[in-house]
Amino acid sequence: MVVRHMQAYGTAVVAGVTPGRGGREVEGVAVFDTIAAAVSACGGPFDAALVSVPPLAVLDAAEEAIGAGIRFLLVPTENVPLHDAARLLALAREAQATVVGPNSAGVIAPAAQLKFGALGGDQPDRAFVPGSIGVMSRSGGLTAEVGLQLKLRGLGVSTAVSVGGDAMIGTSPAELLRRFRADPETDLVVYVGEPGTQLEEDLAAALAEEPGGTPLVAVVLGRFIEAFPQGTSFGHAAAVVERGRGRPSDKIRALADAGALVADSFDEVFRLAQQAIGAQTR
């Protein structure tokens, strides 16, 4: 289903790999037993791999992809064992491969009609239209909702990235901010954060690196869960406040101190984005 939706949007899916199913075809795409076989048949190496396998198979599949020279991996799988995730991310760092996820809904670039992963579903145009706003979110569903709310206000997206809902992810919001700031097609970045992890604190530090750079509108969800006992997990595995660390209020303060336009609520993100884009075009 994901492959069909990607193809319909315009993404070229060159080969599929499912061990034991070599020789078949899915949505017109040839399936191979190994990535090595796909590379020799299609004259690879490939640009990117969608690592869409069950949690316990993710590490193995990702090692195979990196071993075959692929340097961009999107991992949508949720509930990847933590030791496996740590091994996978260490391997990727060593191989200088970019990993998005685990637990990422995908990446989409509306102007190029490129989409990787489930993000946008069967009707990507409903939520994502081309524009100049870079979107990054720890929640995959909200990545699309941000696109939709921007569209309803006449705004569009350069690239949207669901960075992954897990505590340990490959490409961090801080790294993505640096990439968005280097991207001539992006004039504003919108970020949706959550409780737990140090991702927002790192993002704040990255924002402060270049004070006059592309502005950032940010919101950190879960302010009302601070009242609940520590260690209670809400939603994503990552959204856990442990030992007083990872509190939304601390993250909000760090982002505001670093110069982000911090929204008080999710709806306010779009008012701030509209104002910021309006200020630029005047």
Partner 1 sequence: MARLLEQHTKALLAERGLAVPSGGEARTPVEAEETAGRLGGRVVVKALVPANRRGSAGAIRFAPDPASAGREAAELLGTVVCGWRVGSVLVEEALELEQELFFSVLLDQVRQAPLAFASASGGVDVEDVWSDRPEATRILVLDPRERPSPYRLRELWAAAGLSGPELMAASALSHAAVDVYFETDARLLELNPIGLVRRGEGVEAIAVGALLDVDDNALPRHPALAALARVGGRPPTPLEVQARKVAAFEPYRGTARFVELDGDIGLLCGGGGGSLVFFDAVQRAGGRAACLTELGGNPSEEKVRRLARVVLSCPGVKGLLVGHNITNNTQGDLVAKGVLAALDELGLGPSEFPVVAREVGTNDVEGRELLELAGIEYLGEETTMEEAAARIVERVRDPAGAA
250 interacts with partner 1 by CB under 8 A: no
Query: Does residue 236 carry a catalytic annotation?
Result: yes
* Residues 201-230 contacting partner 1, CB under 8 A: 221-225, 228-229
Among 51, 138, 173, 255, binds partner 1 (CB under 8 A): 138
Smallest gap, in angstroms, from Cβ of residue 138 to partner 1? 6
Q: Which of the residues 236, 254, 258, 262 is marked catalytic?
A: 236
Among 11, 104, 132, 139, binds partner 1 (CB under 8 A): 139
Among 104, 137, 171, 186, binds partner 1 (CB under 8 A): 137
198 interacts with partner 1 by CB under 8 A: yes
User: Is the separation of the CB atoms in 165 and 186 below 8 Å?
Assistant: no
CA angle 104, 107, 108 (to 5 degrees): 150
Residue range at the interface with partner 1 (CB under 8 A); choices 13-21, 25-33, 118-126, 205-213: 118-126
72 interacts with partner 1 by CB under 8 A: no
Smallest gap, in angstroms, from Cβ of residue 182 to partner 1? 24
Q: Which residues bind partner 1 (CB under 8 A)?
A: 1, 54-56, 78-87, 89-91, 105-106, 118-123, 126-127, 137-142, 144-145, 147-149, 152, 165, 167-168, 192, 194-195, 197-198, 221-225, 228-229, 231-237, 239, 243, 265-267
